[in-house]
Structure 1
Amino acid sequence: MSGTGTGPAPVGGSPVRGAGAREFAGRERELKALRADIERAGLNTISGRKEPRARVLLIAGRPGAGRTALAEELAARVRDRYPDGLVRTGLTEPGGDPVPTERTAREILGAFGVPTPPGAGEDELSEMVRETLGTRRVLLLLDDAVDAEQVDPLVPDNPDCLVVAVSRGPLTGIPDVRPCTLGGMDAKAAVELLVRFTGAVRITVDPQAAESLAEECGGQPAALVLVGGWLAARPTASVADATKRLRALPHDPERPAGDRPLARAFQLVYESLPGPSARILRLLALAPAGFVDSHTASALAGCSVSAARSMLGDFTALGLLRRPGGPAAGGPAPDDQYLVPGCLVPLLRDLLETKDRDAEVQLARARMLERTVRLLQSCRAITEPDGSPARKRLAGLPRSLRFPTAAAADEWLTCRQPALLAAARLAVGDGELDTLARRLVAALVRALAAHRGTEAAAPELYGLHQLVLDIAERRELHREQAAALLNIGDLDAQTGRTHDALARYRAALDAGRAANDLYATGRAMESVGGAHQDLQDWQRAADWYGRALAQRLSRGERADAARLYGRIGTAHTYAGHYGEALRNWRSAVALYRRLRDLPGQARALSEVARVQEYAGRPHESLRTCQEAVEWARLAGDDRLQAALRLRAADTLDRLGDPTAARLNRSAAERLLESEGNTYEIRSAPAGQ
C-alpha cells in the first residue's frame, strides 16, 4: 500500500537513464545507521517504560542531497516488516507552502480506504489517523516536512509503526527523533553514479577528471544526475569537458554556498537546450503540484501533444524530470505522467520571472486551465448514455481529448486527482483567471460526481465548493455565493454539524436576497427549517417552512408547496400539535390532487392516517388508510400499498379485529412477493 504525495519529491541519489529508470547509488553507511536506529532501544525502553508512540527517523539535508531517495530506499528495504502497508505523502507544495495537515490526514486515511467526513477539521482527522494506525504495522514516509508541527499530529500512538520524515533541518519538539544528516556523497559513490550515464570508458581514461567533476557538484546526487544526463546526451564529450564548462559558469553570490553546485549543474543543462525547449522547461514551473503530462506541457507551450510527449522524454533523460514513485512506490508509474523535482522548482520559477513576460505566463496558465476543463468535460461525458447530448458533443472533440471508455476516464481521473485539485486551488488563489477557475471547479465537481458519486466524493466536493465561495465573495457574485453556501451547508448537515449548517444556510439566505434570487432564498429558508428540525426545535422549523411555503405559493409552484405542507405537518407532528399537522397534511393532499400526482396523494394520505392514529382517532385513521391504499393502487405503487396494509393491520389489531388484520397482512405479503423485494416490512399484532 502506498499513498501519492501531495507534492513532488526532490531528485535524490538516483540517476535517470532513459525515461523513468531509477537506481539507488551510494549512501550505504547512512542506510546501515538508519536500520540500526530502528532496532535501537528508545529512551522509554531504557527507563523500563513501554514506548507510547511510533519511532521517528529523520533524514535531513538540502534539497538535491538525496534525502527522498534515501528515505525511499530505506522504506523499500524494511517494508516487509510492516505488513499493513507503506504510505508516502509530501508535506510541502512545489512553491514551498506547507501542505495543511487536514489534507495530509485525508490522504493517509484514503490509503486505507477509511472514509473521511467532508469539512472535518485538522484535530478530528489527525485523531482518525492515530486511531487507524493504532492497530496496524505501518511505515509512514513523510516527505519534505517544513517543521515538527506538520509531523507530530500524524505520528501513530503505536510503537509497531515507523515514521520516516524528510526535512531540511531538525524537527525540534518531537521526542527521541533519530536524525541522519546528509552531506555530499563520497567520491567513490559519486563516480559510480556518473558511470551509469557515461559508461566506464570515459571515466577510466580520466579518473581524476571524474573526481574533480564530482567535487564541482559538491557530491550532490541531483547535480550529478544533471551533469550525467548532459554527458549522456553528448557521447563525444569527455568528463574533463563537463568539468571545464561547469567551472566556467559564474557563481550566484546571493545564493547560499550549499545550493550553488545544483544551481550551476542546472544552468549547464539549461543553457544547452534549444530555445523552444528551454521555454517549455521554464513553463513547467506552472504545473499544478509539480505533476506534468503531455497535455499539460502541450497546453503550456502551445504545441502539439506528440511534440510535448517527446520533449518530456528528453527532459527526463537529462534528469530535469522524474517519474512518480521510486523504490518505495510499490508499482510502476502511470503512463505519461512526470514530476518536476522539487529542488528544481525554485530555479525554474526564477527563470520564468526573469525571462518571460507576465502576459505570456498568464496566457500559458490560461491555456493549461482551458485544456484541463475540456479533459474534465470529456471525462464526465463518457459516463453519459449513447446518443445523449453530452456524448454527441464528445464526438466533436479532437481524438487526443477523448477517452475510449468510462473505465479509462475513471483511471485518468484517479491518477490525476491530486494535480486536478491542486490546479483548482492554484487557479482560485491566483485571482486573475476567475472565469476559468469557476469553469474548472464546476467541471471537476461534475466529473467527480459522475465517477465517484456525490457521497463518495463529498470530502473533495466540500473543498471545491469552498473554492467557489472564495471566488464568489471576491467578485461579489451573490448568486454563486448562495449556491456554494447551500452546498457546503448540506454537507455539514449530512455529517452532523447542524449548527455549522444552520450558519451556512442563513448566510446563503442573505446572499440570495442580495442577488434577488427567489430560488436560492426559498431553498435557504427551507434548509434553515430543516436544520432547526434536526435540532428538534419544531416551532422554528415549522415557522421557516411556512416562510418558504409562502414564497412557493406566491410563485405558483404547487409541487414544491405540497412538499412544504408536508414538512410543516411533520414538524407539528413531532411537536405533538396534531391539529396543525392534520391541517397541513390535508392541504398537501389537496395540492397533490390538483396536480394529479397520485403517488404524492397516496403518501400524503398515509401521513394523515399516521397523525390520526397518534391523535387517538383509530377509526378515522383506518378509513384514511384504506383510502390511501386505493390511491396507491391507482398509482401502481405496490410497495406503498404493502406498507399501508401493514399499518392498517396494526390498527385493526388494536381495534380488536384480528381476522381483518390477517387479511391485510396476507395482501401485503403478496404485494411484496410480486415486487420481488429482498427486504421485509415488518409488522406484528399489538401486544407481541
Structure 2
Amino acid sequence: MTDQAVGEGHLPTGTTDRPAAATTAARGPRTPETRRDAAPGPAATAAAPASPDTRFAGRRRELQALRADIERAGLDTLSGRKGSRSRVLLIAGRPGSGRTALAGELLAGLVGDYPDGVLRAVLTGPGGEPVSTERTARELLAGLGVDAPPGAAEDELTASLRDALAGRHTLLFLDDAPGAEQVDPLLPDAPDCLVVVVSQGPLTGIPDVRPCALGGLDSAAGVAILARYAGPTRITVDPRTADSVAEECGGQPAALVLAGSWLAARPKASLSDLYRALSEVVLPQDLPTGARPLLRAFLLTYGALPAPAARILRLITLAPGGLVDAHIASALAGCSVAAASTTLHDFAALGLLRPAAEGDGTVQGSGSGEEPAVRTPGAAAHPQFRLPGCLDPLARSLLQEHERPAEIQLARARMLERTVRLLQSCRAMGEPVDSPARQKVAGLPRSLRFTSAAEAAGWLRSRRTALLDAARIAVADGELDTLDRRLMAALTRTLLAHQGAQAAAPDLYTLHGLVLEVAERRGLAHEKAAALLNLADLDGQSGRTVDALARYRGALEAARSVKDPAATGRALESLGGTYTELGDWQRAADWYGRALELRLARDESADAARLRGRIAAVHSYAGRWGEALREWRSAARTYRRLGDAQGQARATGEVARVQEYAGRPEEALRTCLSALEIARGAGAGRLEAALQLRIADTLERLGDPAAARLHRALGEGLLEDHPQ
C-alpha cells in the first residue's frame, strides 16, 4: 500500500526484537548446512539500526519547498477572502520513489505546530484497488473518537468528518491516493488543518494544490543509502562503482534499499559484485524505463531466496489488509509458526517487508512516527509486517506465475481456517474462567492461546481491519462458502464479546451485509432472512426507518419462502414496531395482529400475551380505549392461565392505566388495587411499588390527599427495599 519501508534511508528493523533463531547480525550469512534446522528464510544479516538523525537522506530541496508552500498565500487569500478549506500539499511520484518517506519526514517536522495530532489513511488497498471513501471516512472518524452510525451513507460520513475537523489544528495524511475523486470528499473545511497527499499523479479538479514531483535521488544521496547497508568501507574503497550502482538503481530509494540489503547480507561481496549481479538480471523488453530499476533490484533479491522462502514471499500477497504475521504466513505456506516468524524477520532485514505500526491499516493516531508493535506471549506474540506498496504488484505477478489457482485457494482456505481458530480463542477470553469455552481453549497449542482478556482484546483491536478484509476475501472467493460463514460467525461473536453491541455495530453492519451477499448468491433463504433482520435492526437504531421497513419486508418474504416461523414472527413484530415508531397506528396494529395469529397457531401463549400488550399499547396511542382494554384484559387472562402472576399483575395495572386515560378514575382505582393484590402475592416488590405510586396519583386526582400520601410513602419504601 505504501512505500515507506523502502523510502529514503528507512532501514530494516534491527535485531533487538527478533527471536533467537532469527538473529544473524555479526555472524555473516548462514550456509545451507547451518540452515537445516532453521526457517526457510533468506540468508541475510540484519543491518544495525540507524540513529534518529540519519534515517533520511536527500530530498532536502523538496522538503524545504514543501515547508515554504505551507507559508505561501493561497488563492483565496490573494483574492481578499479568508480560505475556507485546508491547504493541500501533494507529493507526487512513482511507487518506490520515497514519496511516503518524504511525507513522513515533513510530518515529523510539522507535528509540533498542529496540537491535535496526525490522522493517517491509506487510500489504496493491497491489491491496488481504491479503498471506498465510506470506509476511509469511517476510520478517520474513529481516529478522532467520533461515533459514526452503522450503515451511514458516504455523504453523511464525509460531512461528519468535516464537522469533526472544524476548528481543529490537525495534520491529515492521505497516502497512496489513486486520484482526486478519493481525496476531495475527505478534505476538511478547516483552514487550520493541513492535508498532505501522496499520489502517483496530479489531483486534477482540487483547487490550489501545491505539488512536489519526485524524480530520482542525486548520486550522493543514493550512495548514502547504500553506505548504511553495506557499511562505509566498501563505499570508500570503490566510490565510482557505488555511483554506478546508484545510477543502475535509477536513484530510486526502494531499489537502493533492496540493493543495499543484498550487499549487507554478503559481507564478502564487493560493490562490483552487486553491480554485476544487477546488470545480469533479465527484464522484459517491453518494460517501461522508469520501472526497470525497482524490478531489477527486486528480482535480484528474490532470486537469492531459498525456494521455501520465495514461496512465502509470493503467498503473503494473499494476507488480508496487506498485514501479515507469523500465523498468517504459517497458514498460507503450510509451515510451522516458528519457521514463518524467522522468515518474516529475515524479509524485513532484506527490505522486503516493513514492520506495521499499532493500528496500521487505515488510520493511525496522533504523532509523527510509528511505534513498534507490542509483543506479548501467546497468540499475540507475533508482530505484524506489511509488504511495501511498490513491491506488492511485483510479488503478485510472481504469485500468478508460479502458483496454480487450486494452490492459491488452498492457501487462502488454510489462512481463513487459522483465523477462525484464533477468533474462537480470542472470544473465549471474554468468558468466565470456568466456562466451557475457556476450558476448550486451554487445550489448544500455546501459539493459539491468549494469556488474558486484555491481550485478546488488544489482538482483536490491532487486527480489526485485516479481519474484516478476511471476511470480504472469503465472500469474494465464491468457493469457500462454508468457511466464510464460519469466519463471519466467529468474528461477529468475538466483536460482541469484547466490544459490546453498540461499539461493534458498524463492523457488525459490514458482516451482516457480507452474510447477505453469500445467502443471495447461494440461495440460502434462512441466512438471507437472518441477515436482513439484523441489518434492519441496525438501520432502525440509526434512524433509517424507511430502509429498515424495506429490509424487514424482504426478511419476511425470505422467511415465508422456507416456512421459518421464528424469522417470520420476528419480521412481523419488527414491522409492527417500526410502524409504531412512525406513528402509523393502524398498520402497526395490523402487523402485530399478524404476528399474534402466528403465535396463537403455534400455541405460544406467553408470546401471544406479550403481543396483545403491544397491540393494546398501539390502540392506546390512537385513543381507541375500548380496543386497548380488550387486549390488556385478554393478556391478563392468558398470564393467569399460564400461572404468571407478575405478568397478570402488570397487564391488570395497564388496564387501570387505560381506564384512567378514558376518564374513569374510580374504575381505574379499583382495578389498580386488584393488580396490587396480585403483585403482592407474587412477591414482585418493584411492581408493587409502581402500583402503589400509581394509586397515589389516582387518589390525588380523586381528591383524597391523605390516602394518596399513605400509598406514596408505601411505594417509596418498597423502592428503597427493592433497588434496581
Q: Mark yes or no: TM-score above 0.5.
A: yes
Greater RCO (CA < 8 Å, at least 6 residues apart): 2
Which structure 1 residue ranges, 5 or more long, are not aligned? Answer: 1-5, 678-688
User: Which amino acid in 2 is paired with 1:586?
Assistant: R
Partners of 2:3 and 2:99 within 8 A in 1: no
Query: CA shift at 1:25, angstroms?
Result: 2.4
How is 1:106-505 mapped onto 2 (pairs within 5 angstroms)?
106-325=138-357, 328-329=368-369, 331-335=371-375, 336-505=383-552
Q: Is the counterpart of residue 88 in structure 1 residue 141 in structure 2?
A: no
Q: Who is 2:657 aligned against?
A: 610
How is 1:601-640 mapped onto 2 (pairs within 5 angstroms)?
601-640=648-687
Q: How many aligned positions are there? A: 672
Give the Cα separation in 2 of the matches to 1:634 and 1:184: 88
Give the Cα separation in 2 of the matches to 1:606 and 1:403: 51
**1:576-623 C-alpha deviation (Å, 9 max, x unpaired):** 111111111112212222222233223222222211111111122122
Q: Which moved more, 1:528-537 or 1:588-597?
A: 588-597
Partners of 2:536 and 2:547 within 8 A in 1: yes
TM-score, length basis structure 1: 0.95
Which of 14, 28, 39 is matched with 1:18 structurally? Answer: 14
CA root-mean-square deviation: 1.6
Query: CA shift at 1:495, angstroms?
Result: 0.9
Give the Cα separation in 2 of the matches to 1:330 and 1:236: 34
Partners of 1:285 and 1:348 within 8 A in 2: yes
Residues 638 and 72 of structure 1: is their aligned pair in 2 closer, same or farther, counting only changes over 3 Å?
Answer: farther
Give the Cα separation in 1 of the matches to 2:6 and 2:607: 59
**1:613-668 C-alpha deviation (Å, 9 max, x unpaired):** 11111122122222333333344433322222222211111010101111121112
Partners of 1:599 and 1:632 within 8 A in 2: yes
Partners of 2:5 and 2:12 within 8 A in 1: no
Q: Is the counterpart of residue 526 in structure 1 residue 522 in structure 2?
A: no
Q: Who is 1:659 aligned against?
A: 706
Query: CA shift at 1:334, angstroms?
Result: 4.2
Residues 633 and 70 of structure 1: is their aligned pair in 2 closer, same or farther, counting only changes over 3 Å?
Answer: farther
Q: Who is 1:585 aligned against?
A: 632
Q: Which moved more, 1:125-134 or 1:557-566?
A: 557-566
Give the Cα separation in 1 of the matches to 2:264 and 2:280: 20
Give the Cα separation in 1 of the matches to 2:459 and 2:205: 40
User: Which amino acid in 1 is paired with 2:557?
Assistant: D
Residues 47 and 302 of structure 1: is their aligned pair in 2 closer, same or farther, counting only changes over 3 Å?
Answer: same
Secondary structure, counterpart of 2:689 in structure 1: helix
Secondary structure, counterpart of 2:550 in structure 1: helix
Secondary structure, counterpart of 1:64 in structure 2: coil
User: Which amino acid in 2 is paired with 1:236?
Assistant: K
Query: CA shift at 1:429, angstroms?
Result: 1.3
Give the Cα separation in 2 of the matches to 1:520 and 1:436: 24
Partners of 1:8 and 1:290 within 8 A in 2: no
Residues 334 and 17 of structure 1: is their aligned pair in 2 closer, same or farther, counting only changes over 3 Å?
Answer: closer
Give the Cα separation in 2 of the matches to 1:135 and 1:647: 50
Give the Cα separation in 1 of the matches to 2:253 and 2:609: 71
Q: Which moved more, 1:520-529 or 1:663-672?
A: 663-672
Q: Which moved more, 1:44-53 or 1:593-602?
A: 593-602
Query: CA shift at 1:28, angstroms?
Result: 1.4
Query: CA shift at 1:390, angstroms?
Result: 1.4
Give the Cα separation in 1 of the matches to 2:465 and 2:340: 21
**1:28-49 C-alpha deviation (Å, 9 max, x unpaired):** 1111111111111111111211
User: Which amino acid in 2 is paired with 1:651?
Assistant: T
TM-score, length basis structure 2: 0.91
Give the Cα separation in 1 of the matches to 2:528 and 2:569: 15
Q: Who is 1:43 aligned against?
A: 75
Partners of 2:525 and 2:562 within 8 A in 1: yes
Give the Cα separation in 2 of the matches to 1:373 and 1:399: 16
Partners of 1:102 and 1:121 within 8 A in 2: yes
Give the Cα separation in 1 of the matches to 2:514 and 2:426: 21
Which of 621, 634, 639 is matched with 1:574 structurally? Answer: 621
Query: CA shift at 1:569, angstroms?
Result: 0.9
Partners of 2:2 and 2:390 within 8 A in 1: no
Query: CA shift at 1:17, angstroms?
Result: 4.7
Give the Cα separation in 2 of the matches to 1:60 and 1:149: 16
Give the Cα separation in 2 of the matches to 1:9 and 1:486: 43
User: Which amino acid in 1 is paired with 2:368?
Assistant: A
Query: CA shift at 1:412, angstroms?
Result: 0.1
Partners of 1:403 and 1:409 within 8 A in 2: yes
User: Which amino acid in 2 is paired with 1:523?
Assistant: R
Which of 102, 111, 121 is matched with 1:70 structurally? Answer: 102
Q: Is the counterpart of residue 673 in structure 1 residue 720 in structure 2?
A: yes
Give the Cα separation in 1 of the matches to 2:494 and 2:579: 33
Secondary structure, counterpart of 1:455 in structure 2: helix
Q: Is the counterpart of residue 98 in structure 1 residue 130 in structure 2?
A: yes
Secondary structure, counterpart of 2:430 in structure 1: coil
Residues 381 and 217 of structure 1: is their aligned pair in 2 closer, same or farther, counting only changes over 3 Å?
Answer: same
Secondary structure, counterpart of 2:172 in structure 1: strand
Q: Which moved more, 1:623-632 or 1:190-199?
A: 623-632
Give the Cα separation in 2 of the matches to 1:635 and 1:84: 58
How is 1:556-571 mapped onto 2 (pairs within 5 angstroms)?
556-571=603-618
**1:100-155 C-alpha deviation (Å, 9 max, x unpaired):** 11111111110111111011000000000000000211100001111111111111
Q: Which moved more, 1:100-109 or 1:593-602?
A: 593-602
Q: Who is 1:3 aligned against?
A: none
User: Which amino acid in 1 is paired with 2:190?
Assistant: N
Partners of 2:89 and 2:196 within 8 A in 1: yes
Q: Who is 1:685 aligned against?
A: none
Residues 366 and 7 of structure 1: is their aligned pair in 2 closer, same or farther, counting only changes over 3 Å?
Answer: farther
Give the Cα separation in 1 of the matches to 2:275 and 2:567: 68
Give the Cα separation in 1 of the matches to 2:62 and 2:373: 27
Q: Is the counterpart of residue 30 in structure 1 residue 62 in structure 2?
A: yes
Give the Cα separation in 2 of the matches to 1:160 and 1:596: 67
Partners of 1:10 and 1:64 within 8 A in 2: no
Query: CA shift at 1:330, angstroms?
Result: 5.1
Give the Cα separation in 2 of the matches to 1:108 and 1:634: 56
Partners of 1:10 and 1:343 within 8 A in 2: no
Which structure 2 residue ranges, 5 or more long, are not aligned? Answer: 18-48, 361-366, 376-382
User: Which amino acid in 2 is paired with 1:573?
Assistant: S
Q: Which moved more, 1:315-324 or 1:662-671?
A: 662-671
Give the Cα separation in 1 of the matches to 2:370 and 2:410: 38
Secondary structure, counterpart of 1:456 in structure 2: helix
Query: CA shift at 1:559, angstroms?
Result: 1.8
Secondary structure, counterpart of 1:87 in structure 2: strand
Give the Cα separation in 1 of the matches to 2:318 and 2:217: 31
Q: Who is 1:542 aligned against?
A: 589
Partners of 2:2 and 2:388 within 8 A in 1: no
Q: Which moved more, 1:545-554 or 1:21-30?
A: 21-30
Report the identity percentage: 64
Give the Cα separation in 1 of the matches to 2:4 and 2:182: 16
